[in-house]
Amino acid sequence: MAKPYGLGRLNLSLKGRVGLFGGTFNPLHNAHLEVARTALEQYELSQIVFIPNGIPPHKERVLGVDKEARYEMVRLAVESIPEFSVSRIEVDRDGPSYTIDTIRALKDDYPQGICFIVGADRLLKLDTWKEPHELLRSVPFVIAPRSGVSLDVFDVSPFREALIVPLQMEDVDLSSSALRERVQKGETIRNWVPDAVARYIEERGYYQQRELAKTETQ
CATH code for the domain of 48: 3.40.50.620
117 by DSSP, 3-state: which? Answer: strand
Say what the pLDDT of residue 214 is. 46
In this prediction, residue 8 carries a pLDDT of 45
> Does any domain span residue 118?
yes
Share of the chain above pLDDT 70, in %: 86
Strands of the sheet with 163-166, listed across from one edge? 5-6, 163-166, 141-144, 114-119, 18-23, 47-52, 84-86
Residue 189 lies in a domain: yes
Please check whether residue 7 lies inside any domain of the structure.
no
Structural domains counted in the chain: 1
Residue 59 has pLDDT above 70, yes or no: no
Task: Determine the average pLDDT of the residues in 192-204.
Answer: 97
Q: Containing domain of residue 116, as a range?
A: 14-204
- Could you tell me if residue 209 is inside a domain? no
> What pLDDT score was predicted for residue 147?
84
3-state secondary structure 125-193: CHHHCCCHHHHHHHCCEEEECECCCCHHHHCCCCHHHCEEEECCCCCECCCHHHHHHHHHCCCCCCCCC
Residue 6 lies in a domain: no
pTM for the model: 0.89
Q: Is 104 within a domain?
A: yes
Give tens-digit pLDDT for 142-195: 999 988 888 888 888 889 888 999 999 998 889 999 999 999 999 999 999 999
214 belongs to a structural domain:
no
Residue that wins the pLDDT comparison between 60 and 132 = 132
In a domain, 179, yes or no: yes
Q: What is the mean pLDDT of residues 57-77?
A: 79
Condensed to tens digits (0 to 9), the pLDDT of residues 65-74 reads: 899 999 999 9
pLDDT at 4: 60
